[in-house]
Amino acid sequence: MRRKAQERASGAASLIIIIGILVVLYILFLPPKEREELLEGRTPNVPGEDNGGRIPSDFNEVLLLESPGRLENIQTGEIPHPLPSVSLQTVTSSKIIKEVSNIYVKNSVFGKQFKSLEFPINDFENTENVLLSFASSVHNGRLIILLNGKEIFNSYISDSPNPIPLAKDALQQNNVLEFLVSPTGFAFWKSNEMLLENVKITADVSDISGRVASSRFVLGESEKENLEAAEMVFYADCDQSKVGTLSIIINNERVFRGVPACKSMNNPIEISPETLFEGNNEVKFSTNKGNIIIDQIMVTSFLKESVYPSYFFELPDVFFEGAIDEFFEEGVCGVIDGYCPSGCDEDEDKDCCFINNNYWCDLETDNQDDRCVSYVSSENCGRCTSGYEEKNGDPPQACEGECGDDTDGECPDDCSIYYDKDCCFEEENGSYWWCDDFPTTGVRSICEAGISTSECDDCPAGYENSDGDNPDCPPRQRPQSVEFYDFVLSDAYDVILTLRFIDDLEMKQGEVFVNGHTFSFNTRQPEFYRSIGNYVEPGSNGITIVPLSKSLDIVELRVELVET
């Protein structure tokens, strides 16, 4: 009995030894990070315990992969299309419709000799004041003239009779004049005869080809797609007492018919979006009489608010760690607040850059180290699209007069209103406001037509107009010391955004919005990549790309999670 008990104890011990060996082998073959967590009893400090702090088994390192295609830049809510002046006029001149050297007619008891004269009126509608004229060296009896079979004249004439009007209601497109002379009556031995010389049929003919004029303007693809409404305005230079009816036709659809208001700008004419085409649009102007010069013609497109596609990706909680973030009054790195926090890099903070009298670029450069520089040569000016500047706003000497020089009072050709203060203040639509820093809402807030109360804080340094005045904004307050609990991406990981373009060597400019954070890019390279680890959040994340160049052709948008 005791021997059997000893045998059972020996078997159980062997089983325990085998299980122990298997556990050791399992631990040895675990990945180092998981083996360390198992042995030391640590788990990641993450929000929530629903996944046990473990990376999901179905997790993919490529968080997002899309092909956005072409993104068109619609610069403004209104696109003006100025058209050249047109002149509508009617030129009336006297023309000879028919001319013969002489006509001889005779009437006697021994015989009659009459004469017919055919003549056409080619432009019947625009022919007026038709006259028959002639001289006569022989004129015995009464001259009788029939027009299209109807008698229009029966009288004695002199050597130089007055022209005979041919009434328009008796005329037609093809006409016949018959010339006769009256009979001799009882003096049968006599003869009545007429010799008409230099016979002419004249008329006032109006050339109406000048009553019609046309012009064209072009709508781009994106403009047509986003078109919400359109209108036309013009100035009419004419004589109100003589002007006729003006007709305006766009793409074979009449948009206006009426008598214009002379010597003034006419009321806007509404144009249906369905009337306008992508590409060429033809505008025809015509009038039925009088002379009109149509000047200051402007067709304006009103566009819907530009909506660019957003892309979303998920990032599990397991990759984040909890942290206490605190803002202190001595400043925040990357925020233009007049302070340079300790440990903040000069390429990340404008205030830190100016401590050593360096030059700063408001827009992010291709190479991050080029954003704050101590020296700028003429070859390097183009690295900063918005223009390098010192603390007092002066550009480097090598970049004076270039796009981004806010001190020269000139707006270079093809320079954006968002990159040069002088270009902003050249706008004709009113008093514009300029931000001398990079606004929190992106590049398009640098030059604004108006500043609302809610937009006052968009510019860290405050907006000003061409007179140096500030908009009516509430006093700016320094940030308070705030403490809050946040989740940040673990130091073991980073998230990389990559944009791959069509390699056309054109400048690619745009803004990227990630969960409300904004950064810009400006590159000729076929690829742009950047870390967005500081912008991501647990759960759902959103990305929107807004083009600043004319268009962006993005072949691939990729977001990847990588180990550091």
- List, for residues 321-335, the tens digit of each pLDDT value: 875 444 444 567 777
Q: How high is the pLDDT of residue 441?
A: 79
Is there a common fold for 78-89+210-303 and 91-208?
yes
Burial of 118 (0-12, 13-18, 19+ CB in 10 A): exposed
Main-chain dihedrals φ then ψ at residue 379, nearest 5 degrees: -75, -20
Residues 6+ apart with CB under 8 A from 444: 418, 511, 546
Would you state the pLDDT for residue 409?
A: 83
pLDDT tens digit string along 449-461? Answer: 888 888 888 887 7
Pick the closest to residue 300 from 232, 253, 249 (CA basis).
232
Task: Please choose, from the candidates 316, 265, 369, the residue with its C-alpha nearest in 3D space to the C-alpha of residue 361.
Answer: 369
Domain borders along the chain are 2-42, 58-74+309-328+481-564, 78-89+210-303, 91-208, 346-458
Lowest mean pLDDT among 146-150, 198-202, 288-292: 288-292
Q: Which two tokens stand for residue 92?
A: 């009336």
Can you give the pLDDT at residue 116?
Answer: 93
pLDDT at 69 over 80: yes
Least reliable range by pLDDT among 52-66, 370-384, 472-486: 472-486
Q: How far apart are CA 382 and CA 531, in angstroms?
A: 24
Mean of pLDDT values over 431-439: 82
Q: What is the residue type of 327?
A: F
259 to 263, 270, 271, 511: CA distances (angstroms)? 12, 17, 18, 49
Closest CA to 543 of 311, 314, 251, 379: 311
Q: Using the CB atoms, write b or e for 466-498: b if 16+ within 10 Å.
A: eeeeebeeeeeeeeeeeeeeebbbbeebbbebe
Residue 30 confidence (pLDDT): 61
The pTM score is 0.45
Short-list 225, 270, 242, 234, CA closest to 85: 234
Is residue 515 over pLDDT 70? yes
- Nearest 5 degrees, angle CA 264-CA 267-CA 271? 135
CA atoms within 13 A on the CB side of 554: 27
Helix (H, G, I), strand (E, B) or coil at 58: coil
**Element housing 459 (H / E):** none
pLDDT tens track for 6-22? 555 566 666 677 777 77
- Tokens 């940030």 belong to residue: 479
The predicted pLDDT at position 167 comes to 94
Tell me the average pLDDT across 48-61.
Answer: 52
CATH value of 58-74+309-328+481-564 in 1.10.1760, 1.10.760, 3.40.50, 2.60.120 = 2.60.120
Range from 97-101, 243-247, 427-431 carrying the lowest mean pLDDT: 427-431
Cα 355-359-363 angle, rounded to 5 deg: 110
CA angle 453, 456, 460 (to 5 degrees): 165
> Dihedral, CA atoms, 457, 461, 463, 468, nearest 10 degrees?
150
Q: In Å, what is the CA distance from 379 to each residue of 353, 366, 383, 395?
A: 21, 15, 9, 14
Mean pLDDT (the chain) is 83
**pLDDT on residue 7:** 53
More confident residue, 64 or 440: 64
Contacts of 58 (CB under 8 A, 6+ apart): none
Alpha helices in 163-254 (DSSP H): 221-225
Q: What pLDDT is attached to residue 49? A: 37
Tens digits of residue pLDDT in 25-37: 666 666 555 555 5
Task: Write the CB contacts of 414 (distance below 8 Å, at least 6 apart in sequence).
Answer: 403
Is pLDDT larger for residue 138 or for residue 487?
138
Say yes or no to pLDDT of 484 above 50: no
**Cα 328 from Cα 479, distance rounded (Å):** 7
CATH superfamily of 78-89+210-303: Galactose-binding domain-like (2.60.120.260)
- For the CA atoms of 217, 222, 224, 227, the dihedral, rounded to the nearest 10 degrees, stands at -110
Q: Report the CATH fold assignment for 91-208.
A: Jelly Rolls (2.60.120)
pLDDT mean over 97-102: 94
Q: Is the pLDDT of residue 178 over 70?
A: yes
Per-position DSSP letters for 389-425, written without gaps between them? B-TTSPPPGGGTTSTT-TTSS---TT--TTT-HHHHH
pLDDT tens, 275-315? 999 999 999 999 988 899 999 999 999 988 777 889 999 99
